[in-house]
Structure 1
Amino acid sequence: MSAREEVLARLRTALRDAPVEPEPVRDYRREGTTDPEELRALLVDRLRDYKATVHETTPDGLPTTLSAVLADATVLAVPADLPVEWLAGHTGEVRADPDVPGLDTSDAVLTGAAVAIAETGTIVLDAGPAQGRRALTLVPDRHVCVLFAEQVVATVPEAIARLRSPASPLTWISGPSATSDIELRRVEGVHGPRRLDVVLVGAADG
């Protein structure tokens, strides 16, 4: 018997009496409201409760809104595939997918998102289009995130169903980075940006 066969035999012996794993119970609620206005209002309420700053605009107004939001960002980090039209009004330095030292000296990072959950006020990034790698949104002190109304769902199960691959690295953002010290005092920016700006893009003006 080879060493490999011996190890496998021992594993089979050890697992022989192991109980069969039960099927998970999936009787939880999987869907919520689909009304766009209810979703928008609920998400905005949750984001502001988490101390995020919310800016609402239209597709045509997005470049102008971003120009105002990023007015004090002299050095801006962005994913390599960020739509160029988003930065039409920005006059500062733009760093596309910089390394960690470049991120550390950037004033802010601008990204898109994969999906947002209205009921929890959570934005999810899955390294998809306009999102970049995880380090982009973890190192700079400020994160500006563009979110479109059609990306907002009500519940966590609905959000997971929209992700490219739930097994890929994900970043779940519920407000600026914050934790509490041993005396329960809120401390911001320990493991991510201290400031979160969400630019919520609604329907075009009719």
Structure 2
Amino acid sequence: MIEQQRGENGLVPFEQNKKLYPIVGSAQGDKDEYGMPIAKNYVDKMVTIKNTGSEKAYIRAYFAIPSALDDGYETFNAGMNVLHFNFGNKVVDGNVISTYDVEWNWKHGNKWNYFETTIDDIKYNVYFADYYQPVDANATTEQFVQGVYLDKTFDIKDGKCYAFGKEVTLDDGWDWNSVSCPVFAIACQAEGFDNAAAAMEAAFGANYNPWGTPASNWQ
């Protein structure tokens, strides 16, 4: 898995422990030459996955966001997310094109590929997507996700967190200095399978959680 961010002279490896501030501007507005938002306080997390094996492989990638900051099951109202994330983009002939539902399939039917789990005592909502075709040996996928940002309504007052005009209920033991959005990728042989979902179920079983913790609210 490859995680990058913008640097002074191009893309550089992703650095952990970035500070989060409410976004200024719009993450859906103007983009730069990398297809990334130019809005202030946007946090780059540009994820692609490389097939390091010797044969074609199907790839599935997972993105976990703390449940306290995400409006997940059952409503999935992205407008009410405290911490938003953006799907990947690619730039073709100067045009910025989303990889959502093109290269990366985040849904089955009308439902998100989704479950909930606990990682290091923090509850997470996990979204996952399958790459649309087998990836050749030593080839790399298009961008899976590109970054995160705090909602512009976010604020901290007297040690309490607020967004959308109400207090945000955080997990016991919450520490803003260690908030993370982990990503994980798995791969399996493509030979003999018509699609990624069938290959993944055969290789890992139904409802596979790569963190190995109890999971619920599968979709």
> Whose RCO is larger (CA < 8 A, sep 6+)?
2
- Normalised TM-score (structure 1): 0.24
The structure number with the bigger radius of gyration is: 1
Q: Which has the higher strand share?
A: 2
Q: Which has the higher helix share?
A: 1
